[in-house]
Amino acid sequence: MSKRLIGLLILATAVWIVALYFLLFYDKTPRQTAQESQQQIEPLRRRLTDQQLEEIVGYIKTDFNNIDFFEPYLLKFNVEELTTQMLSSMSNLQGYTFAGYARGDKEQFILLARDKNVLKVSLDDVLDGRYLPIHITSFAVAVLDLRTGSILAIR
């Protein structure tokens, strides 16, 4: 073997050793990316006043002793809180268009347009076996989706 070939083999071996060192061992020590803070966060209970805590407990408190699982659930809906602005911002029920309503002493009904037909719907009727009308205004009807529990508007 010539001296030149031996020198090239030693140089190639040295390059391989350096490359393996960098691939396997270089910079494998764990680094701390953020310094640990010694700051103590005050618990939420200490930041709230007694009055605020009592108010939160009042929201959460429910009487679980009087629940009867065999009675139907009664939906309590405050019509006064449902304003026209809220109805206009609700998502619209696709497929129906509000055409009007009529209120009388004995009967109330809603007129809804679907495809080119006008339907007369009573307040007790369920649309498509899923949507129950719960509130009528002069420009929209609020309906309750009985499957998902969401309130939609027909405008």
**How big is the chain by its Cα radius of gyration, in Å?**
36
pLDDT digits (tens, 9 = 90+) for 34-45: 555 555 655 655
Which residue ranges make up each domain of the chain?
A: 72-154
| Strand partners for 154 | 141
Give me the chain's average pLDDT, please: 79
Q: Which of 57-66, 107-116, 143-152 has the lowest mean pLDDT?
A: 57-66
Q: Which of 103, 107, 112 is nearest to 140 (CA)?
A: 112
Number of residues assigned to the chain: 155
Using CA atoms, how far apart are residues 135 and 154, in angstroms rounded to an integer? 11
Residues 39, 45, 49, 52, CA torsion sign = positive
Give the CA diameter of the chain.
117
Task: Pull the structure tokens for residue 122.
Answer: 């009573």
pLDDT band at 30 (very low <50, low <70, confident <90, very high): low
- Tell me if the domain spanning 72-154 has CATH number 2.60.120: no
Average pLDDT over residues 127-143: 88
Task: Pull the structure tokens for residue 69.
Answer: 């699982």
